[in-house]
Structure 1
Amino acid sequence: MSVQDTPGTKRAVTAGVDWAKDNHAVCVLDADGEPIERFIVTHNKTGLNRLNTVLDRHGVDDVGIERGDGPVVDALLAAGRTVFVIPPSQVKALRRRYGSAGNKDDRFDAYVLADTVRTDRRRLTPLLLDSEPTTALRKLCRARKDLVAHRVAATNQLRAHLQTALPAAVDLFADLDSAVSLRFLTRFASQDALDWLSPKRLAAWLTSVGYCGRTDPAVLHTRITTAARGATGDHGQALAGITRAYLATIQTITAQIEALAQQITEALTVHPDRQIFTSMPKSGTVRAARLLAEIGDARGRFPTPTSLACLAGVAPSTRESGKARVVAFRWAVDKQLRDAVCDFAGDSRHANPWAADLYRRARARGHDHPHAVRILARAWLDIIWKCWTTGTAYDPTQHRALQRLLNQDQPVRA
């Protein structure tokens, strides 16, 4: 007789919730994997109350679900349940445990989630939520990142438009979406307006807007006069209206990016873990905030640096069968976390000799830039994890690998 079958021993009852937009399919299983109850709950307060009422009636403590945030998860955690997040990619693979067809069905997915919690609970990690300040910081950073992507898209649309409407303005300044470039296009939106400019007039205008670039106004004027001419007359004025529309869009997005950056700065300043991430080389404010927000502050989520590296996608995936061994790129990862870690690692090499040396050696072995950055990111995560778990800031003088490298360079420099 097993421990579970011992008289008086409570046998686990599990549940799975298949998340959807308006309704959620729920399946409750007994300890033998037999469905006790299947039902649908609506995505509102009444539905979530009913969800917990039914789970309470069956004594469900463990619940499997495909995502780790939102009102459903909040309701389950508030009721004191243990939530296990099983990503959709894993659920897709797990369907084949129950048949070769692999059909997608909400009720069946709820069953798969519940049964996976029942049979594989020891392999699953309970969901640990970050604090509210960290969650808010994460949403701010991701919103800013989305707006930056929108600005890039709008700038690309403006560039494509200017190729025919006003070619001289495309490469006039270093960046098309820079402040001086946007102000220039606002003032000189058509070829007719550009034709009015002389070297002296251009120099006077640049002075009036506080242009601090290193390019001589005469050189800029030469770029204008030697570029292909844009549309003139009524046609040019019509295209100038389109240019102004793109400019208004980019300026609005830029203003909101700056507003979010200010909020991020304020949120990071008061965060308890601020000093850990701002102490990293080339971390800045937004980059440090992204690292903090994506890693979080729920220490129990990453018991080892390897677990953090795997979720960040900077540890390779190894597959072995017989004599065959393949080391491949890891696809099933937290892409936001990977982007934040690799963005930091890629820039850290410009300020940290140890990081620069690690990157250089990876490139010397034949790895391309993204692969070398992931190798560097993997090494940094060991350091970040140690600082994160101990609550200490990064100190270059205590970084032994860095100090060894610096000490090796001393005789050479002497």
Structure 2
Amino acid sequence: MSQQDGPLFFVGIDWAAAEHAVCVLDHTGKKTAAFTIDHTAAGFTRLAARLSGLGPAERIPVAIERPDGRLVDALLEAAHPVLPVKPTAIKTWREAEVLSGAKSDPGDAHVIADYLRVRIHRLRPAAPLSSHTKALRAVVRTRSELVEARIAASNQLAALLDAHWPGAKVIFANIESAIALAFLTRYPTAASAASLTEKRLAAFCTKQGYSGKKPAAVLLTRLRSAPAGTLDPVVSQGIQDAVLAQVGMLTALNTGIKALDRSIAEKMDTHPDGEVFQSFPRAGTINAAQILTEWGDSRAAFDHPDAIAALAGITPVTKASGKQRGVSFRWACNKRLRLAITTFAANSRHSSPWAADIYNRARASGKDHPHTTRILARAWIRVIWRCWQNHTPYDPALHGGAQHQVTQPTAA
């Protein structure tokens, strides 16, 4: 790219919660401007006005240590190329360039701008997302956070019951299930369930609409065969308060997750790429949405499936020096996308003979399950990318590799 059509200036922004430091360098590295803006609408407007005075927005790239957020959205909407940079990369660059070790917000903004100026050809611009994808991403990521919170709350409740009433933890399969929480609401302590009989437990299960296959007699045996719970009345009152608080938290989390599940289903039905991502074997709705929101919908940003594979951390990293050469796990990646795509890949082998064949051959060569799953995920990324680029749902009949698996036994 020539200087005539290349970047005019390079902008580095040191992001903070309330105030952002901004540094502008020209193509020689000379500082053109340095100022701060508040994290407010007025601050964003001031930034846009200062940058617009330098030239066309598309020729003024901006580097920032965040891939998303309202500041990033404002810069993208103003047509600036936004290039997210990793804090660890900036830290290493600062240590090499600032020999004194001095550090400040304006200094960091200068380091980021200089990093952008020197390495812009190695950085990937942030791809603007459509409104459909932004809405879906907000719901999907919030759901993931609630699921993590539910796991933590379940573990806390399990630890509480282990210490004071082990039977209540094992009577039902899942401690966060509706029936288990209803049981703990009715019987929060061992003392409150001291007179529980098989008949009463059966009536309770019927009232709660329990759909498990275990009869009341089996459930009661589980409850009574566990170590005895605390019966001290003073301690029991404290346990009751603690258990009910945990039950209330889990009930609220379950309600929120179910509401977000419905929202995700609705948004996937209206998303332009929803049908494509839901068409793959065992993708379902939630997992397909998780992949779609992290994958994005900017086709120009990913002109080859290997770019997606690297973003997801599926491709390994090769390190070579002299006669030594090693291949290692890729840590720097979009971890949400990696989890989503590997979860899908692991499930797909149960419905797709093509996926099962790739998985089985990799396992037979001595690779463990996580490595094998990443190999299968990389193969699926090539297929998903082609369907995504063509706006075409997956059809096994048109998938050459899948058709080979179908026809091979007949040919043999």
User: Quick check: TM above 0.5?
Assistant: yes
Q: Which whole-Å CA distance do the structure 2 matches of 1:207 and 1:75 have between them?
A: 55
CA, structure 1 residues 126+48, in 2 after alignment: closer, same or farther (shift >3 Å)? same
Counterpart secondary structure, 1:32: coil
Residue 144 of structure 2 is matched in structure 1 by 145
Q: Bigger shift: 241-250 or 346-355?
A: 346-355
Q: Which whole-Å CA distance do the structure 1 matches of 2:237 and 2:397 have between them?
A: 61
* 2:216 matches 1:220: no
- Equivalent positions of 1:59-70 (< 5 A) are 59=55, 61-70=60-69
Residue 326 of structure 1 is matched in structure 2 by 326
Deviations 1:81-105 (A, max 9, x none): 2222222222223324524566543
- Equivalent positions of 1:79-94 (< 5 A) are 79-94=78-93
Asked if structure 2 preserves the Cα contact closer than 8 Å seen for 1:23 and 1:41, the reply is yes
Residue 23 of structure 1 is matched in structure 2 by 19
Q: Which whole-Å CA distance do the structure 1 matches of 2:375 and 2:391 have between them?
A: 24
Asked if structure 2 preserves the Cα contact closer than 8 Å seen for 1:92 and 1:102, the reply is no
Residue 276 of structure 1 is matched in structure 2 by 276
- Equivalent positions of 1:11-410 (< 5 A) are 12-59=8-55, 61-99=60-98, 104-234=103-233, 235-410=235-410
Q: Bigger shift: 99-108 or 383-392?
A: 99-108
Deviation (angstroms), 1:309: 0.3
Q: Which amino acid aligns with 2:224?
A: T
Q: Bigger shift: 378-387 or 13-22?
A: 13-22
Q: Bigger shift: 147-156 or 38-47?
A: 38-47
Structure 1: runs of 5+ lacking an equivalent: none
RMSD: 2.2
Asked if structure 2 preserves the Cα contact closer than 8 Å seen for 1:82 and 1:126, the reply is yes
CA, structure 1 residues 192+102, in 2 after alignment: closer, same or farther (shift >3 Å)? same
* TM-score normalised per structure 1: 0.92
Q: Which whole-Å CA distance do the structure 2 matches of 1:84 and 1:340 have between them?
A: 24
Asked if structure 2 preserves the Cα contact closer than 8 Å seen for 1:165 and 1:240, the reply is no
Q: Which amino acid aligns with 1:332?
A: A
Asked if structure 1 preserves the Cα contact closer than 8 Å seen for 2:132 and 2:271, the reply is yes
Structure 2: runs of 5+ lacking an equivalent: none
Counterpart secondary structure, 1:170: helix
CA, structure 1 residues 269+150, in 2 after alignment: closer, same or farther (shift >3 Å)? same
Deviation (angstroms), 1:333: 0.5
Q: Which whole-Å CA distance do the structure 2 matches of 1:103 and 1:151 have between them?
A: 43
Q: Which whole-Å CA distance do the structure 2 matches of 1:206 and 1:11 have between them?
A: 69
Give me the identity figure in percent: 43
Deviations 1:222-261 (A, max 9, x none): 2222211111251323312211111111001110111111
Q: Which whole-Å CA distance do the structure 2 matches of 1:411 and 1:128 have between them?
A: 46
CA, structure 1 residues 225+96, in 2 after alignment: closer, same or farther (shift >3 Å)? closer
Counterpart secondary structure, 1:327: strand
CA, structure 1 residues 13+396, in 2 after alignment: closer, same or farther (shift >3 Å)? same
Asked if structure 2 preserves the Cα contact closer than 8 Å seen for 1:12 and 1:30, the reply is yes
Which runs of structure 1 show a deviation greater than 6 angstroms over 4 or more consecutive aligned residues? 8-11
* TM-score normalised per structure 2: 0.93
Q: Which amino acid aligns with 1:140?
A: V
Asked if structure 1 preserves the Cα contact closer than 8 Å seen for 2:76 and 2:128, the reply is no
Asked if structure 2 preserves the Cα contact closer than 8 Å seen for 1:25 and 1:107, the reply is yes
Give aligned pairs, total.
Answer: 408
Q: Which amino acid aligns with 1:47?
A: G
Deviation (angstroms), 1:33: 0.9
CA, structure 1 residues 53+204, in 2 after alignment: closer, same or farther (shift >3 Å)? closer
Q: Which whole-Å CA distance do the structure 2 matches of 1:75 and 1:175 have between them?
A: 45
Q: Which whole-Å CA distance do the structure 2 matches of 1:9 and 1:157 have between them?
A: 59
Deviation (angstroms), 1:283: 1.3
Q: Bigger shift: 371-380 or 89-98?
A: 89-98
Counterpart secondary structure, 2:17: coil
Q: Which whole-Å CA distance do the structure 2 matches of 1:78 and 1:275 have between them?
A: 28
Asked if structure 2 preserves the Cα contact closer than 8 Å seen for 1:66 and 1:86, the reply is yes
Counterpart secondary structure, 2:170: coil
Q: Which amino acid aligns with 1:18?
A: D
Q: Which whole-Å CA distance do the structure 2 matches of 1:233 and 1:404 have between them?
A: 68
Q: Bigger shift: 81-90 or 130-139?
A: 81-90
Asked if structure 2 preserves the Cα contact closer than 8 Å seen for 1:73 and 1:83, the reply is yes
Q: Which amino acid aligns with 1:12?
A: L
